[in-house]
Structure 1
């Protein structure tokens, strides 16, 4: 089947900070979109755009032939796919199942095998780029599963992202996303410490940022989140609580690979402290605040 707006009904589960924008881009591209979210208010904007709301995941699964999930935690992913109302048990054979949550590689493999038994196609396709990348359809999408399935779904991925890479068999997308989160975790510490150092040295932080962001120290976190830190903007593009979840998955996976991850462990301890201070619903750039508490 060619996955075009004329042949596809998309079921989108999880319309939070990023999922809402991703689903909205599919609607704008002409796809019929069915949505489910535990908090219905978060789907209102999509309903105004023409999306169809469902009361549970099972009824959504019966309507859609492409189902995309973008939720919070691996436990949510497991419940949505393999629970009592799991989409695998209610969707039609031939349905494409695409989990874009950052989740466990081992869970991605379980979902892939369960889907295969039901004659469905499963991809793990976590993303990077935050709320801005979701709104502007410029997400990086890292995909695991069968390559021919990836090729079939590629037109849909192109509506949501620009850097779309097939990484290998089931679980490979999740492993790649964990590489992404490992790199970010230590980098966020460096960004915070560099800007706090600038402030304590009596420098103008924005001027320092202008000097260093285009050199060897440059990174997405420095350029995009550094200015937010400086102006004390800690609204979530990506929640602290979800980053802690991602780091925890990465630590467990690294342990299974017998890989020491010293920077990742340090980042986990700092973000755990930040959550204890009531910042779990702040954006990840709120790590900058931890240095006010350390002072």
Structure 2
């Protein structure tokens, strides 16, 4: 019989990337610097002393082995009315299963609120919405994004300790390279290429963002939606929040619905479908 309030790694993997995914709290006590850690996608470092969470969000607690440390944190959270589970076998079990991990050293430092901070050019179209979606859903659900004039991106990054993306400049890791766009750079540089649905989505984003709609049938549609959103919203943050739903839907299609088709007849109740005449 499975232990109560424990979630298996493969089940958690299926939840990562969804807007309803649980908040994954990495409660390991670092014996080395945080930069040496490998993180579960979408997880945040969360010492017990900083536990201040809304009771409305489900939580999965992960320690090194799924033992007393994570059980203690989860029990205290449940006592406060927060739905908290423990990752079975912890980070060791996750790694042993060969599941995707993110090198913590590839992420920008967290600010006083525990967020990673990212900055890019204002007036986003495709890549500058796709990348924040990827970061929020698979890297840091607390991530904050800044949109500034192109000439100020690197200066703002330096002043605030933010990570610049989708812009050319010395030391910018997350930008276009050859035929790849910034979404591709993040996907491979952060160890997320193991998500097959993300790899499929990356082709669509690349086609829409680099003027190559022939890469995927869906690329032209994504470009049209992206350009429409950019004209609907004067505020870049409002556009980002609307765009999150677009990429949530594309991800679920990429993961679960690529073979499904739709026509008038196939979606009618069986009793109402026209029957062939004898």
Instruction: Decide which structure has greater helix share.
Output: 1
Shorter-chain TM-score category?
under 0.3
| TM-score, length of structure 2 as denominator length | 0.26
How high is the TM-score relative to the length of structure 1? 0.25
